[in-house]
Each structure stands twice: as structure tokens, then as C-alpha cells.
Amino acid sequence: MANQNAKGLKRLINACFFSVAGFKATWQHEEAFRQEVTLFAVSAPLALWLGHTPIEKVLLIGSVVLVLLVELLNSAVEAVVDRVGFEHHELSGRAKDIGSAAVMLSLAWAAATWALILL
């Protein structure tokens, strides 16, 4: 748990370590995140090559970064729901479904961005 008394630079350093731990945990436990990182690894160089202007390049890369961000948040929601309990509960299912819908929407946004810019 975070040191609640840390201030200034020490707090920022702690936050960086916690963020790295979050990336590692998500990579280890979430196949969807690994797939989306692979998508990013392929699409980022393509965006730099296919984008004509700096804005197009940023939009192409940013749309895939958005997918990663939403997946991280979805994974956090799922971890909290699973921490509470594995028995079926309507609200737990709803929380997971909403997180999944957010990921799907971010993927659709990325696809639309790529299609509009490249076509």
C-alpha cells in the first residue's frame, strides 16, 4: 500500500513503482491486454509510416493508446469485483459487462479513426 506520508519527489517515485507493478500485473493476468499491446506494437510503426501529418499520426497512435487505457481500467474493475467474491451477483456481472462495453467502444473508436484517416 502507498505510503500516505510521502510528499513531493518521493511520492512521485512511489507512484512510478506502483504504476510499473500495475502494468506487470495486467500483463501477467490479462490476455486481452497482451493482445492489445501486440496491436499497439504493430500499429504504432504503421501509424508513423501511414500518417501524412503529425496530427494523423497522433490520432492513429492515440486511438490505440485509448484502447490500452480502457483495458487497464476494465482490468482494475474486474479485479475488484473478483476480490469481493466469485459468487454470482447481478451488480458484479453488470460492472464487468460495463467495463467490457467500454473496451469494445474504445476498439470501435480506434477502428473508425484508422478507417477515416486511411480511407
- Dist. CA 73–CA 99, nearest whole Å: 8
Contact of 46 with 71, CB cutoff 8 Å: no
Q: Which of 30, 31, 71, 90 is catalytic?
A: 71
* 71 noted as active-site residue: yes
Give catalytic residues, as residue numbers.
71
